[in-house]
Chains A and B, each alone.
Chain A
Amino acid sequence: MKYVALVYYQESIINSMTEKEWHDLNQECIAGVERLTDQGKFVTGQPLQPIETATTVRVRDGEVLISDGPFAETKEQLAGFYLLDANDLNEALQLAGRIPPARFGSIEVRPVRELPPKD
Chain B
Amino acid sequence: MNIDKHLNNIYRQQSRRVQATLIRLLGDFDLAEEAMQEAFTAAIKQWPEQGIPDNPAAWLIKTGHRRGIDHIRRRQTASHNLSRVAEDEPYTSEPDTDHIDDDLLRLIFTCCHPGLAVEAQLALTLREICGLTTEQVASALLQKPATTAQRIVRAKRKIRDAGIPYEVPEHRELPERLESVLKVIYLIFNEGYSSSRGDTVVNVSLASEAIRLARLLAELLPEGEVFGLLALMLLHDSRRNARQDANGDLITLEEQDRKLWDHGQIRSGLAWLEQALQLAPTGAYTLQASIAAAHAEATSTDNTDWARIARLYEALYRQTPSPVIALNHAVAVAMRDTPEEGLKLLDQLTGHKAIQNYYLFHAARADLFRRSGDLPAAKTAYQRALALTQQGPEQRFLNQRLTDLDNAR
Contact = CB atoms under 8 A, between A and B. Distances in A.
Interface of A: 1, 3, 86-90, 92-94, 110-111
A90 B162 contact: no
- Among the interface residues A3, A87, A89, A94, which one has the most CB atoms of the partner chain B within 10 A? A89
B173 A92 contact: no
A88 B164 contact: yes
5 contacts: A3-B163, A89-B162, A90-B169, A94-B173, A111-B162
B115 interface: yes
Contacts of B164: 88-90
A93 B115 contact: yes
A89 B163 contact: yes
B165 A90 contact: yes
Given A111-B161, A111-B162, A111-B163, A89 B173 contact: no
Contacts, number: 26
B167 interface: yes
Nearest to B166: A88
Given A89-B115, A93-B115, A1 B173 contact: no
A90 B173 contact: yes
Q: Is the interface of A mostly helix, strand, loop or mixed?
A: mixed
B162 A87 contact: no
A3 B162 CA distance: 9
A70 B113 CA distance: 34
A94 B177 CA distance: 12
Contacts of B169: 90
Nearest to A88: B165
Contacts of A87: 165
Interface of B: 113, 115, 161-165, 167, 169, 173
B107 to A, nearest CB: 15
- Among the interface residues A90, A93, A111, which one has the most CB atoms of the partner chain B within 10 A? A90
B18 to A, nearest CB: 24
Given A87-B165, A88-B165, A111-B161, 8 more contacts: A1-B163, A3-B163, A88-B167, A89-B115, A89-B162, A90-B164, A90-B173, A111-B162
B115 A92 contact: no
Q: Which 4 residue pairs across A and B have the least CB separation, nearest first? A: A88-B165, A88-B163, A89-B163, A1-B163
Contacts of A3: 163
A93 B173 CA distance: 11
A86 B163 CA distance: 10
Contacts of B165: 87-90
Contacts of B113: 89
A110 B164 CA distance: 11
A110 B115 CA distance: 11
A92 B113 CA distance: 14
A89 B163 CA distance: 5
A1 B113 CA distance: 18
B117 to A, nearest CB: 15
A24 B218 CA distance: 46
A1 B165 CA distance: 11
B106 to A, nearest CB: 12
Nearest to A117: B81
Contacts of A88: 163-165, 167
A94 B163 CA distance: 14
A1 B161 CA distance: 10
A2 to B, nearest CB: 10
Contacts of B162: 89, 110-111
A90 B168 CA distance: 11
Contacts of B173: 90, 94
Nearest to A87: B165
B289 to A, nearest CB: 30
A111 to B, nearest CB: 5
Contacts of A93: 115
A87 B170 CA distance: 14
A111 B115 CA distance: 13
A86 to B, nearest CB: 8
A4 to B, nearest CB: 12
B167 A90 contact: yes
A92 B115 CA distance: 12
Contacts of A94: 173
A93 B164 CA distance: 10
B304 to A, nearest CB: 45
Contacts of A1: 163
A111 B163 CA distance: 8
A92 B169 CA distance: 13
Contacts of A92: 163
Nearest to A92: B163
Nearest to A110: B162
B61 to A, nearest CB: 23
A88 B109 CA distance: 14
